[in-house]
Structure 1
Amino acid sequence: MNNPLSRNKRNNKSKKTLWKRLALLFILACVSMFVLGIVVFAYFASTAPAFSIEKLKDPIPSRVFDKNDELVTTIYQGIEREYIDIDDTPEHMTDAVLAVEDNRFYEHGAIDFKRLGGAVVKNVTGGFGSQGASTITQQVVKRAFLTEEKTIKRKAQEAYLSYRLEQEYSKDDILEMYLNKIYYSDGIYGVRTASLYYFDKELEDLNLKEAAYLAGLPNLPNVYNLYVDAESGNKRANQVLSLMLHHGRITEDEYNEAVNTDLTTNLIARSEEERASTEPKDPEFAAYVNIIKTQLEESDEFNNIEISELLSSGIDIYTNMDANIQRTLQDTVDDKEFFYGDKFKSDDFNIASSILDTNSGALIAISGGRDYQEVVKENLAITQHNTGSTMKPILAYGPAIENMKLPTNYTVQDEMSYSPKNFDGQIYNYDKQGHGTVTIRDALRQSFNVPAVKVFEQVEDESSGSAEDFSKGLGLDYSKKLDGDYSISFNDVLGGNESRFSPLQMAQAYAAFGNGGTFNEASAVRYVINSENEKIDMDYETHKAMEDYTAFMITDMLKDTFDPYGSADYIKMDGLNIAAKTGTTSYSDNVLDEYNLPSNAAKDAWIVGYTPEYTMSVWTGFTSTKKDGVTSFIGNEEHITPQWFFQDVMNQISTFNGQDFTKPDSVNWINGNELAVKDSSFFFNNNSNNNNNNDTNNDSNNNSNQKVRRYYYTTPSEDDSEENTQSEESKESEDNKESQERQETETTNPVETPSESENSNTNQDTTPSESGGETNTPPPSNNSDDNSNN
């Protein structure tokens, strides 16, 4: 018979043995984790950046390299710094900094383990990185050697370098480094520089509220900036004062007095232009540097670090810039003597331009405006403007070819006036004339408004939303307009209403026509070499935007822009295979009346064009509207202002290598000089009508892209009969008559809008332009090839 007491003893012994084993396993696991932690820490520490005394002293400027990896400029962050010695720093300033950043700074080592324990608990409940416990030593190390990335590797490197720093320098030395390195918004580094910038005071003269504000500002410098949001800045100062009271660094009476102090009393008044503005270094590169900063700031690769911190870390930025073209572009923009007439030499007039590599989308050059300076001036190359008739290939003819496979000789009935669907008013062509049955090629070449709107309506009837989808594929997204509550209308086709886009966006869109249908986001930065000598490649969006037949057919039609009666026939682009579209933006009737403007006045004038090598967009416009057309484009001679600029720069930068756009297999010639999609009904019909010979013959004749350009000013050969010669004379007479009529009519507002009570579909604002008009010029005179007014 078993003894119950003996059985209990055995069970207790077994339990004790089990617990001992579990305890031993736990200890072994802890030791293993500890050893593993040491190994991992040692490895991460061994990969930390070199401990550099130079990096501890000053922020390191960033360098910019062009497409040939040649150094072109250096980016220096902020204004000249005013250093402060720790012995000269007033106690109320250091007390404020220590209270908000690291109250036990003089008591702990490189790492505050007590504070770290609380942060660990927060990170367990809120996720890694949700609560920081960085000491002032760690912050100095992070700003000198590391990035803002919140990973275990970076934290290990930070801990190691912080230990090294505290071995090399005293606490006072480290606090002095912090006070001189920290960022205070508006390009300001260092607490003494910030004190002089915001309050024009030395640190010893700051009141307690001002000292508390500067101590709290670096946490979110661009949020707490008094020039940005005075209320947020005041709240932040009060938080710091509360911490000073909590830690016993000020009395309750001092706290109450400081909280009730007006922080803006001694704030230096500064306009937007005056905020930390300095004379630009290498001003010809300023607009490109602005785009570099924008792309770095918006990139996934650097979204965890303030751009000012990044550019102060000594990175090397390798770009797609062609330095010579960048200089050429900006120098021409700045040259007021290039432009004729006082109004175009005045400060009211401005110009912006972007140049891309047509095939890759690489940003070759960009100008943000005359004498562009960062911070001081808006970059007009990334500012949205009404686009005028440059939208016609994007919202009308491109979607029509893409979705309906229209041939280039597809005909539309043009009319003197036309009432678009769901609109009670009338639209007109530039000359307020109807031109009968016209092909879409000729309608686009001469930029008629009525055919463009009719084609747009036809596409929408057969494939609703296709125009919006087509434009979105080209980076022109209407779905974001008016908070997503917007639908494209006929007026957008003419470049009015919400057809507002930047020169950079328009260059991106048109480049897709030139490269066979691929949209490439404009890429300024190729890659970055950071302070740890790591290469970080930049990623950009690229996708198929349209079929290759659409791209080629639109391109072939846009080549005709420079032909007689084309909207850019005044300028000559000899030697280049080039396609382009012009655009002007007219004023509303209200603005015309208010400012006593003629009906052919325009607010914006554009040209966007491309060769197989480069795509270039040019916007010109005025910064204000004044009476009697002083700040408006009046008539044809002024409407073509951007065309002269386009011609001059394109001729300077192009290689003239004879390269032409390659016809895809999906397209064939029909009827001599027109194009049709191979598998479309239009192609088969035309092919049948021409005894199945046209396509074969034309493919053979045009393999080298030597397509004969059409109808006007053909000279009869010696073999021509007298009848043919007479016919040509009659033709010339008719052309001259039409030319005279065009000179008399010039450009008019293409949209006749009803009163507000009659229609609410079009804007009736008095300042923005409402609709896109287009200027077509008479053909050049027979006795001169130079019609320049510059």
Structure 2
Amino acid sequence: MQIVLSRKKKRRIRFFRFMIRSLLLALILSGLFILGLLSYTRMQGPPPIQVSETTVLYGADGSVIGEDHGGQNRYWVSFDNISSYVSDATVSIEDRKFYEHFGFDPWRIGGAIIANIKAGSSAQGASTITQQYARNLYLTHEKTWSRKWNELMYSLRLEMNYSKEEILEGYLNTVYYGHGAYGIEAASTFFYNKSASDLSLAEAAMLAGIPKGPSYYSPIIDFDRAKARQELILTSMVENGYLTAAEAETAKAEKLVFKEAEAEATEVIGPYFQDVITSQLTTLLDLSEDELETGGYHIYTTLDPKMQKEAEHWVQEEMPDSDLQTSLVAIDPKTGGVRAMVGGVNYAESSYNRATQSKREPGSTIKPLLYYEALQHGFTAASTFMSEPTEFTYDEGRQTYSPDNFNHHYANDFITMQQALAVSDNIFAIKTHLFIGPDKLVDLAQVLGLGQFNNVPSLALGSEAVSLLDLTNSYVPFANNGLFGEPQFIEKVEDAEGTILYEQGPDLKPTLDPTSTFLMTEMMTGMFDPALNGYTTVTGNSVVPLLHRPVAGKSGSTPYDSWMVGFTPQLVTGIWVGHDRDKKLDQLSEGPISKKIWANFTEHALEGKLKLPFHEPGGVVQVEVDPQSGLLANDACPGGVSMFFKAGTEPTSSCSTPEEEEKLEEQKQEKERFIDRFKKWFGQDDH
């Protein structure tokens, strides 16, 4: 009997030793496995933590004019700019041992495994904050064992390479809070219209409860359910030592005020303008459109939201309900910054930008460039040509050109360049063009960014196609003492961390002669001066009642297009009106629309701004001149208009009365008779 008991005892001892050895072996193997796993994850290095962030566009006044987020509205904020209530509440309800574990909680995982085996599925989760962050960054939300394993591996890599604060910052910036808001900053803005740094304890606890079920626990969808979860979180914060019971009770009693429900998409201001921004930045930063939209960039633009709204308003106000289209560009001549842009009547119906992508013949809006060159080659505002039907010969006599004035109206007399511009006389323009040499306008057009034009007589009447943006920008030197540069859309671009990737200041350079640009500007005020009415009215006559500040400009038309480019010292604005297809304009009803849009926009966009005169340089003089003859006005030809000249080029002769002209004619005849007698006396008679 004793022998049997001894054998049983020995077997138990051997079994016990086996179990001890097995346990030790298991512990050693587990330790080696964990050590190998940690070494492997450490060797893998830090996983990328870049996530899509909302790219924000700002107007010139610093306001937000648009956002791109690729479906995930997210603004990344540093841990220091997140209320501590948010992090404390999140840790309390999501992962109370967050600061103790290495990315996963074995006890929670074990419990979840047992529960899932009993349920016959993987329905219950036990993810830590680190695991949830890993899932948000790299994985899907499918509930499979392979996804869980990958989640664990990424969690270890995060823990091995980033601090707890960095991981919690990442989690709070990536977790979904519903209503299109990803990250705590987007959620705080959506629900409370405030930054995450300004959240109260009650507000933070309410937001911390949403990620468990963004639709189920949204206070906007079901406030009572969300309120119950908020109170649960506040209680857990007391249990975990983050709050006192009194603080929790005060927070539970706080009345929460939510932002009024509104469209989730931020209003897009200037969509055509923003398309230009996207096009430029994809080239400048070598990015795809998707990368630009979700890269968290801060793009500071030149657009003025107030002016943009005025532009869109007056387009809608003046354009008829038809297939007629329009475009508008407004540029600050002091900086070259584009302040407003409209590329069509309705962006939703057509994103085709007629301000930048369409090229049309500009008609008479090209004439200020022509007459600037004339001023540079000896002409003055008082220079005269005959306005009459004319056939021009060119190409060494091989070709002829017979342009018409609008509605076939002619002075059939001499008129000054000032009046010719104001009434848009075509014959005067062609004569000037051919007199100074067609190459002069070709060269100037290229200098001002309009492209390479053909050297033909019709160029003086705008026969070469241009874009509205380029044409409007070519007027900038007239409003800014001869300074010119490329139109500017972007002032600065920063990445999500605030690093400046691109920056551009005003880049205008002296290009045209300041004196001649001023003289040209003063000539362009003439289209709004009824004193220059002659054989026809000035082209801006219909909008004169709408204007209440010094303005200058030039209109133009073709059978298919209506143009108006005008300016003040603060703003240069161009308008085009026409059809997308080859369809002629009704010049009576549709032709004046461009001028109406321009006049109304200019007045309202500059409302409250100083009514500045155009800068007058030194070395110019102002005299009263008869607009027909170009002579100094007096009682013989009253109704003179003020014209500016370079000092020394102003007219010195005055108009004559009929009696004075008869006397001059008699003196001329007497002089001719004296010369004849003189020749006869010295035997030089031709007979």
Say if 2:360 and 2:467, in contact at 8 Å, map to a contact too.
yes
Q: For residue 67 of structure 1, what is the amino acid of its counterpart?
A: A
Query: What's the counterpart of residue 315 of structure 2?
Result: 333
Query: What's the counterpart of residue 69 of structure 1?
Result: 62
Q: For residue 632 of structure 1, what is the amino acid of its counterpart?
A: K
1:322: Cα distance to partner? 1.1
1:493: Cα distance to partner? 1.7
317, 321, 326: which is aligned to 1:345?
321
CA offset digits 1:714-741 (Å, max 9, x no partner): xxxxxxxxxxxxxxxxxxxxxxxxxxxx
Query: What's the counterpart of residue 106 of structure 2?
Result: none
361, 364, 367: which is aligned to 1:389?
364
SS of equivalent to 2:597 = helix
CA distance, structure 1, for counterparts of residue 609 and residue 58 of structure 2: 26
Query: What's the counterpart of residue 273 of structure 2?
Result: 288
Say if 2:269 and 2:305, in contact at 8 Å, map to a contact too.
no
CA distance, structure 2, for counterparts of residue 492 and residue 165 of structure 1: 68
1:165: Cα distance to partner? 6.6
Query: What's the counterpart of residue 80 of structure 2?
Result: none
Structure 1 residue 634 corresponds to structure 2 residue 586: yes
Say if 2:560 and 2:585, in contact at 8 Å, map to a contact too.
yes
Q: For residue 502 of structure 1, what is the amino acid of its counterpart?
A: S
1:371: Cα distance to partner? 1.4
Say if 2:54 and 2:68, in contact at 8 Å, map to a contact too.
yes
Structure 1 residue 306 corresponds to structure 2 residue 288: yes
Structure 1 residue 658 corresponds to structure 2 residue 611: yes
% identity of equivalent residues: 21
CA distance, structure 2, for counterparts of residue 78 and residue 491 of structure 1: 52
Q: For residue 620 of structure 2, what is the amino acid of its counterpart?
A: V
Structure 1 residue 605 corresponds to structure 2 residue 562: yes
1:418: Cα distance to partner? 2.8
CA distance, structure 2, for counterparts of residue 307 and residue 539 of structure 1: 25
Name stretches of at least 5 consecutive residues in structure 1 with no aligned partner: 1-49, 81-140, 145-160, 170-180, 182-278, 479-485, 586-601, 626-630, 691-790
Structure 1 residue 520 corresponds to structure 2 residue 462: no
1:421: Cα distance to partner? 2.1
Q: For residue 310 of structure 2, what is the amino acid of its counterpart?
A: T
CA distance, structure 1, for counterparts of residue 389 and residue 315 of structure 2: 38
Query: What's the counterpart of residue 411 of structure 1?
Result: 384
Query: What's the counterpart of residue 567 of structure 1?
Result: 539
Say if 1:556 and 1:579, in contact at 8 Å, map to a contact too.
yes
CA distance, structure 2, for counterparts of residue 432 and residue 296 of structure 1: 49
Aligned in 2, Cα 1:314/1:429: closer, same or farther, shift over 3 Å? same
1:243-262 maps to which residues of 2 (within 5 A)?
none
> How many residues are treated as equivalent by the alignment?
403
1:78: Cα distance to partner? 7.2
1:640: Cα distance to partner? 1.0
CA offset digits 1:466-486 (Å, max 9, x no partner): 2122122222121xxxxxxx6
Q: For residue 497 of structure 2, what is the amino acid of its counterpart?
A: E
SS of equivalent to 1:546 = coil
334, 356, 370: which is aligned to 1:359?
334
CA distance, structure 2, for counterparts of residue 466 and residue 291 of structure 1: 32
CA offset digits 1:398-431 (Å, max 9, x no partner): 11112x1421111112222332523324111113
Q: For residue 429 of structure 1, what is the amino acid of its counterpart?
A: N
CA distance, structure 1, for counterparts of residue 368 and residue 311 of structure 2: 26
SS of equivalent to 2:270 = helix
Structure 1 residue 675 corresponds to structure 2 residue 675: no
Say if 1:60 and 1:312, in contact at 8 Å, map to a contact too.
yes
1:331: Cα distance to partner? 3.1
1:52: Cα distance to partner? 7.7
Say if 2:54 and 2:72, in contact at 8 Å, map to a contact too.
no
Aligned in 2, Cα 1:528/1:79: closer, same or farther, shift over 3 Å? closer
Say if 1:318 and 1:527, in contact at 8 Å, map to a contact too.
yes
Say if 2:330 and 2:572, in contact at 8 Å, map to a contact too.
yes
SS of equivalent to 2:339 = strand
1:65: Cα distance to partner? 1.1
Say if 2:547 and 2:603, in contact at 8 Å, map to a contact too.
no
What TM-score, normalized by structure 1, do the two folds share?
0.47
Say if 2:336 and 2:506, in contact at 8 Å, map to a contact too.
no
SS of equivalent to 1:675 = strand
Query: What's the counterpart of residue 446 of structure 2?
Result: 472
SS of equivalent to 2:394 = coil
SS of equivalent to 1:635 = coil
1:608: Cα distance to partner? 0.4
Q: For residue 405 of structure 2, what is the amino acid of its counterpart?
A: N
Aligned in 2, Cα 1:284/1:333: closer, same or farther, shift over 3 Å? farther
1:539: Cα distance to partner? 5.8
Say if 1:575 and 1:656, in contact at 8 Å, map to a contact too.
no
CA offset digits 1:104-135 (Å, max 9, x no partner): xxxxxxxxxxxxxxxxxxxxxxxxxxxxxxxx
Say if 2:401 and 2:457, in contact at 8 Å, map to a contact too.
no
Higher gyration radius (CA): 2
Aligned in 2, Cα 1:353/1:533: closer, same or farther, shift over 3 Å? same
Say if 2:391 and 2:400, in contact at 8 Å, map to a contact too.
no
1:286: Cα distance to partner? 0.7
RMSD: 3.3
Q: For residue 619 of structure 1, what is the amino acid of its counterpart?
A: W
1:715-726 maps to which residues of 2 (within 5 A)?
none
Aligned in 2, Cα 1:79/1:349: closer, same or farther, shift over 3 Å? farther
Aligned in 2, Cα 1:451/1:312: closer, same or farther, shift over 3 Å? same
Query: What's the counterpart of residue 245 of structure 2?
Result: none
1:675: Cα distance to partner? 2.0
Query: What's the counterpart of residue 371 of structure 1?
Result: 346
1:723-742 maps to which residues of 2 (within 5 A)?
none
What TM-score, normalized by structure 2, do the two folds share?
0.54
1:621: Cα distance to partner? 0.5
Aligned in 2, Cα 1:530/1:405: closer, same or farther, shift over 3 Å? farther
Q: For residue 675 of structure 1, what is the amino acid of its counterpart?
A: F
CA distance, structure 2, for counterparts of residue 317 and residue 307 of structure 1: 14
Say if 1:283 and 1:372, in contact at 8 Å, map to a contact too.
no
CA offset digits 1:547-600 (Å, max 9, x no partner): 011211111111111123111111124321000111111xxxxxxxxxxxxxxx
Aligned in 2, Cα 1:538/1:164: closer, same or farther, shift over 3 Å? farther
Q: Where in structure 1 do 4 or more consecutive aligned residues deviate above 4 Å?
A: 50-53, 163-169
Q: For residue 569 of structure 1, what is the amino acid of its counterpart?
A: N
CA distance, structure 2, for counterparts of residue 658 and residue 540 of structure 1: 23
Say if 2:66 and 2:269, in contact at 8 Å, map to a contact too.
no
CA offset digits 1:199-223 (Å, max 9, x no partner): xxxxxxxxxxxxxxxxxxxxxxxxx
Query: What's the counterpart of residue 645 of structure 1?
Result: 597
CA distance, structure 1, for counterparts of residue 425 and residue 345 of structure 2: 32
Say if 2:329 and 2:574, in contact at 8 Å, map to a contact too.
yes
Aligned in 2, Cα 1:658/1:443: closer, same or farther, shift over 3 Å? same
Q: For residue 529 of structure 1, what is the amino acid of its counterpart?
A: E
1:649: Cα distance to partner? 1.3
Q: For residue 550 of structure 1, what is the amino acid of its counterpart?
A: S
1:166: Cα distance to partner? 11
Name stretches of at least 5 consecutive residues in structure 2 with no aligned partner: 1-45, 74-133, 138-153, 163-173, 175-263, 531-536, 626-641, 655-687
1:216-231 maps to which residues of 2 (within 5 A)?
none
Structure 1 residue 316 corresponds to structure 2 residue 291: no
SS of equivalent to 2:590 = helix
SS of equivalent to 2:444 = helix
1:164: Cα distance to partner? 6.7
CA offset digits 1:314-373 (Å, max 9, x no partner): 1101112111111221233245xx34xxxx311x21110011112221111101111114
Aligned in 2, Cα 1:669/1:332: closer, same or farther, shift over 3 Å? closer
Aligned in 2, Cα 1:561/1:532: closer, same or farther, shift over 3 Å? same
